[in-house]
Amino acid sequence: MSDRFSCPICLDAVAATRVAACGHMYCAGCYYDMLTHSEVAACAVCRRRLAGLPYPNYEVDSLLAAEHTADPAFLERVQTSRRRATTVENGRDASDFLGIITSLEHADTAARTKALTDLLCALEASHRWTCAALGTPALQALIRCAGDGAITEDELAAAWRVLAHAATHFCDAGRLIGFGVHVRAAEALVSPVASVQSRRATTRAVSALVPFHASFFAPFLEPDWLERLVPVAPAAVACVALHHSSGLETLAEAGVLGTLLPQLAVHGRVLARDFLNAALARPSCASQLRQAAAIMLVRPLPHAAAIAEIVARDSDAAGIIAIAHADDVLTAVQAAQESDDFDAQLSVLELLHALHDKSAVRDANLVREVYAWMHSNQVPDSIVDFGRSYVGSCARECAACAAAVADSLGRLDTAETLDSDALYMLGDVCSHEAVVEARSGELARLLSSLRFGTHAEVYLAMSLAGTPAGRALVVEHALRALRERLEDMDEPTAVTAEDVITLCCGTNHSAPPPCF
């Protein structure tokens, strides 16, 4: 058993086990001696960096204790190892922290990296913050290092996570946040020499701390800081605003909410969605959200889902009509056609439906483009119907759109040139008198060739019967066939056919149609 569970440092049976993150097992004393005396905090076996607290393996401890019950030397080693672990895991001496902080502030890059590694190990090993006041200069030193790019993104993020965990779970450590840390974080974010990586790491830190200490970060929402933070750290500002009682209202009053939201899309969909949903729930943010939609419509494809949500939830249809321009939406449709991103394509179609519901952007060129897109064989089948329903809705409610769709359908001479989807679309188009009159010759030949055995064919007749010119065509070229096939139709189709006959002949289906 001792040979199986031996420490790679002392090569003896493991005394008071500590398992590193990589899975290798050490004596507790050997593990912490290795951290103290090694230039790089890495596993002695696999050389991976030692991050996080090691954990004891109580099962192995029990097995080895049972095997060495009569071995006083082993039992003494266990007690010594446990005392060493307790000393480290329950807190570091103030002199240790001060030495590490001094190294961070004044050492060269290599020495600073070593000091940072020591500091992270010290912080991760400190279950009880007996020196919480010293944690503040340590955090400030880390932020200053981040500002000049002296430490990596992963190192800074790790340090922030440790301190955020301490501030969350240990009451004394909450004092860490109050000693100007928000100012240091803000300075690191707006520093002209700060790298993208350091800003991201600091933003993560703010995001981790804000839910528990939102009041300390309220200065982020002050006008002077907002003006500087929004362009470089929109995610940090959004996170603070979400967790502050009046954060979103403050952003709206400052006039920055409309410019902030478009920037969030590049910082992760989850944050952008949460921020948008919170803003949509506040009526005071409506005008700013409309402004954000106007900004995003200039480059709509990455923001289509957010714009669709804003448009759908905005009660001011006139305001939406004022900001929505057909050219911008047409650009989004063209970009979606070239994209392989299913979510982006679906979001653009959702945007089209939302705009249509607000009677905005009913444009013949746009409808023609969408119709061509839905018939390009480049669209997943799951969203083709969604796109066709948009085209059909526009065709029913806008004569210019109906004319554009009729042109896209091409010749209407015979049933062989049109499938069921095209017949349904033609039915939507033929709800306009002008279109029926313009294509009456082709429609007459089409009606004469139809057998009216499908619902799509009967739907076309129903749409035509809704206009005087179309009704005359149905009476002359389709009414007899409808009556003859009525008994052979399924129930939904027969009901529609009876409605067509009623429109043409009145309630007496056997009576001859009136003269037009």
Question: Could you read off the pLDDT of 124-140 as tens digits, one per residue?
Answer: 555 444 334 445 555 55
- Predicted confidence at residue 99, as pLDDT, reads 61
What's the average pLDDT block by block, 10 residues per block, for the chain (516 residues)? Answer: 80 88 87 74 81 76 85 87 73 54 62 65 50 50 56 59 53 47 71 72 74 74 85 86 86 84 72 83 84 77 78 79 81 83 83 84 86 79 83 87 85 69 87 88 86 87 89 88 84 85 68 48
Burial of residue 217, with CB atoms counted within 10 A of its CB: 0-12 exposed, 13-18 middle, 19 or more buried: buried
Per-residue pLDDT tens digits for 162-215: 555 555 544 444 444 544 566 667 777 777 767 777 677 677 777 767 776 677
* pTM, rounded to two decimals: 0.57
User: How far apart are alpha carbons 128 and 92 in whole angstroms?
Assistant: 9
**Helix runs in 170-256, H state only:** 181-190, 196-209, 223-232, 234-243, 247-254
CA angle 438, 439, 443 (to 5 degrees): 150
* 66: number of Cβ within 10 Å: 9
Q: Which CATH architecture has domain 17-88?
A: 2-Layer Sandwich (3.30)
- Predicted confidence at residue 266, as pLDDT, reads 64
- Predicted confidence at residue 171, as pLDDT, reads 40
| Residue of 252, 259, 342 whose CA lies nearest to 304 | 342
Task: Write down the CATH number for the domain with range 92-245.
Answer: 1.25.10.10
Residue extents of the structural domains in the chain: 17-88, 92-245, 414-516
- Predicted confidence at residue 139, as pLDDT, reads 57
